[in-house]
Structure 1
C-alpha cells in the first residue's frame, strides 16, 4: 500500500492517483494530511505538495489538482528521455514533472472543454490536441509516466514486491449496417435498384439480386467468420449493433426484421453484445434509453457497452447520459482518422465530470486504432507497420490494446482487402 501525504485531499487528487497507482501499477493507495500518520507509515510513501516534509520521496505539486472548474492552464511541453512531459517541478522533486496533474489534464479531456475547432460532425479533431501539436499522440504517456514513478519507488523501496500486469487485447466490432442488400425492406431495395440503374452500376445491380435471391452471401455478412474467430480466440470480442431508427445518419436494418434479431442473438451466444448508439441519441436521453431497452429485450441481459455513432462525443453530456442510464462501459474515446492515444493512456479509466468535480461509475475504454484510420496507408505492408507500432507502444507498458473494426472490414470488398489479416495480427499479439 502506498501512503500519499498531501496538504489537501481533493476528488481530483484521489481520482488521478488511483488511476496511476492502482489501475496501472496495481498498488493500493491511501491519503493523509496528518504528518504524524505519514511519519509512522513504514511501507511505500510519498508526499505530494509544494515542499517536502523532510527527505521522503517527494513530487512537487502543480495547482491543477487543487483547483475546481476550468481555468486557463499554462502548458509547456518538454522532452523527458524518450517521451514528453509538462508541468515542470523543481530540483527537490524526485520527478521533473508533476505527472499527476499532467495525467489529470489528459484523462479528464480538459482540452476538449476549452474552445476548439470541430469537424463537420462536431467532433474534436486530433489536430486540435496538445498531444498532436507536441508529437506524443503515438505514446501512452500516462502509462509511461506511471512506470517512471514505479522506477523511483523501486529505488527508494527495493524490498517491496511490485505486481506485474499483462498486455491484453480488447477487440471491438462495430456494426452500423449488418447487411448491404438483405433485409432492407421493399422501398429501400427499389430505391437502391433505381440508383444502380441511374448511375449505370450494372455490376452492383447484378450482385444485389444474386444476394437477394440467395445465390451469394451479402458482402457485409461476415458474422460466421467473426463467430468462428471468437471460438478460437482467448479474448472476448465486443460487438456493438446499431439498432436505432432509420435516419439520414443511421441506416441499419430494422429490429422488426426477424433475421436481424436472430443475428444479434446468435452473436450474443459467443461475444459480448452492446449498442452503437444512434446519431440522434447523442443529444436525446429518451432516444438512448429506448435503444438500451430495445437491446435488453433482445438479449435478456443488462446493457453494459456503448459506442456513439460517428465516434462523436458531446462532453460532458454524452457521458452523463450513459451514467444516468447506468451504462458502465464506453468505447468512443479515440480518433477516427489517426492512430494513437486520445486520452494519453492504454488503460481503461473512469469518466471524471469536470463540472461536478466527481468521479463517475462510467468506465472509458479508449481505442487506439480504428479500421478507417488504416485506410490512409495504401499498402498492406504500411498498414501492418503502423498497426504494429501502436501494438508495440501498448506492449511496452503492458496495457490494453483496443482496436475498433467494422463487420464490413472483414468482407471481400477491394477497399478492405487484407483487414482480416490485420485483425488476426492483433489477436496473435497477445499470445
Structure 2
C-alpha cells in the first residue's frame, strides 16, 4: 500500500528513517513529494513533514536533525507522550508533540555511540551512557511504539483505507565458539588441561574429561542432536553460528581444519540457517575477518550472508563497516550482552547507516532482545516471567524477538530445561 509524504526537501537521512518507520515497521510503500498540488490531489494515506502545516492534513513538525550533516552536540530534554518516553519536542501545531523521525534516527543509527564517550572495562560503549538506560526505556522498543501511534492517527484520518499488517515473530540463534568441551582437542591439550585441573583440585572436571575421552559419557557441549529434536517437536527454527578462528587466548575450540568440525557445521545447515561467529582478532583486523569468511565459505560451499558477535563487544561502527565491505547481508549483534532490551530502540530490522559518510549500507541489522550472558547468576524462571511481559508488549507492535544462546548453555541439565521452557514461552 502506498503512503505519500510531503517534504520541502529530501535528504539521505529523511529517506532512510522514513523507509524504516513507514516501510519496515508499518509496511507502506513510501513516496515523497515536494509539490503541494500533488500532495493535495493524492487520495490515499498521506501526511506532511515540514516546519509549517499546509492545511488540515496530518502534520508532523520537523525538529531539524534530519537536515544536518555529521555528528553534532545536541541539547534536548526528555518528555512523556501518552505514557511513552520521547524527545526532540516541537510546537503544539504538530499532531505529535515531538519529531518521531528525528528521535528514531538518533536511536536507530546509534548517534550517541559516535559521540565522545569513555569506553568501559571491555573497551565497549557503556550502557550507562545510553539514553535508553538513563531514562529507563531500554526494554521498550520506543521507535516501533511511536510508529504504531502514528499509524493510529493516520487510521483516524483515513478510516476508509486498509492498512498493512505484520505478525509477531521469535527467532533463536545458537552460537558455537567451542564446539566440544573435551573431544577432539588433541593429546597435548588433553594432558595439559588434565594437569591444570589436578593442580587447581578441579577433580570433577578432570574425571569428566577422562570419562568423555573413554566414551563413558557424552561431551557436555555436544548437545546438537537434542537441540534439533527439540526444534522439531516445537516447530521452531534454530540458526547456528560457528567460529573458525586460529587457536589463541580467545579461541579454544578444535581446529577449523578438522573434518569432524566441517561435518558438524554442514549437518546443522540441514535444520536452520548458518552464519559466522567472528573471532576476537577478526573484529579488529579486516584481513583476519576476510580470512575467516573464506574458511566458512569453503566449508559450507556458499557465500556468507550472516554474522553474529556474542561474547565480545560490538566494535561499533567499525565491525559493521567491515561486514559491509565483505558484502555480508545480515548481522545479529545489536544489543547489550548483559542486559535485556533494545540497544537501538527498535525490535525491527534496519539497515546500517554510516553517519560519517551519510550513507545507507546494504547490511541489515537484526537487533536482539536477549544474549544468554544476561542469564548468568540469575534465577532464569524470574527472567522468563519478565520476558513474557515483554513479549506481550512486542505483540502489540507486531515486533520480532531475537534470542542468542550458546551450545555450552545447554551443558547443565537444569539450565537447559529452563532455556527450553523459555523458548516454548516465546513462541
TM-score (normalised: structure 2): 0.96
**SS in structure 2 opposite 1:327?**
coil
In structure 2, relative to structure 1, the CA distance for the partners of 1:15 and 1:422 (3 Å cut) is same
Aligned to 1:63: 64
Q: Which runs of 5+ in 2 are unaligned?
A: none
Of 73-82 and 279-288, deviating more is 73-82
CA contact (8 A) 1:47 1:59 kept: yes
**SS in structure 2 opposite 1:308?**
coil
Q: Give me the CA root mean square deviation.
A: 1.4
In structure 2, relative to structure 1, the CA distance for the partners of 1:65 and 1:423 (3 Å cut) is farther
In structure 2, relative to structure 1, the CA distance for the partners of 1:91 and 1:280 (3 Å cut) is same
> Aligned partners of 1:314 and 1:202: how far apart in 2?
38
CA contact (8 A) 1:3 1:32 kept: yes
CA contact (8 A) 1:87 1:101 kept: yes
In structure 2, relative to structure 1, the CA distance for the partners of 1:425 and 1:309 (3 Å cut) is closer
State yes or no: 1:131 paired with 2:141: no
1:265-291 Cα offsets, whole Å, 9 max, x none, are 111111111111011111211111111
1:123-162 Cα offsets, whole Å, 9 max, x none, are 1122121000001101000000000000100011001101
**SS in structure 1 opposite 2:277?**
strand
Aligned to 1:363: 364
**SS in structure 2 opposite 1:320?**
helix
In structure 2, relative to structure 1, the CA distance for the partners of 1:164 and 1:412 (3 Å cut) is same
Size of the aligned set, in residue pairs, is 426
1:93-145 Cα offsets, whole Å, 9 max, x none, are 01111110000000000011111222222111221210000011010000000
Shift of 1:340: 0.5
Aligned to 2:401: 401
Aligned to 2:419: 422
Q: Which runs of 5+ in 1 are unaligned?
A: none
Aligned to 1:153: 154
**SS in structure 2 opposite 1:277?**
coil
Aligned to 1:330: 331
TM-score (normalised: structure 1): 0.96
In the TM superposition, 1:29-428 aligns within 5 A as: 29-308=30-309, 310-377=311-378, 379-412=379-412, 417-428=414-425
CA contact (8 A) 1:176 1:241 kept: yes
CA contact (8 A) 2:380 2:418 kept: no
Shift of 1:424: 4.0
**SS in structure 1 opposite 2:249?**
coil
> Aligned partners of 1:104 and 1:366: how far apart in 2?
15
> Aligned partners of 2:170 and 2:28: how far apart in 1?
22
**SS in structure 2 opposite 1:13?**
helix
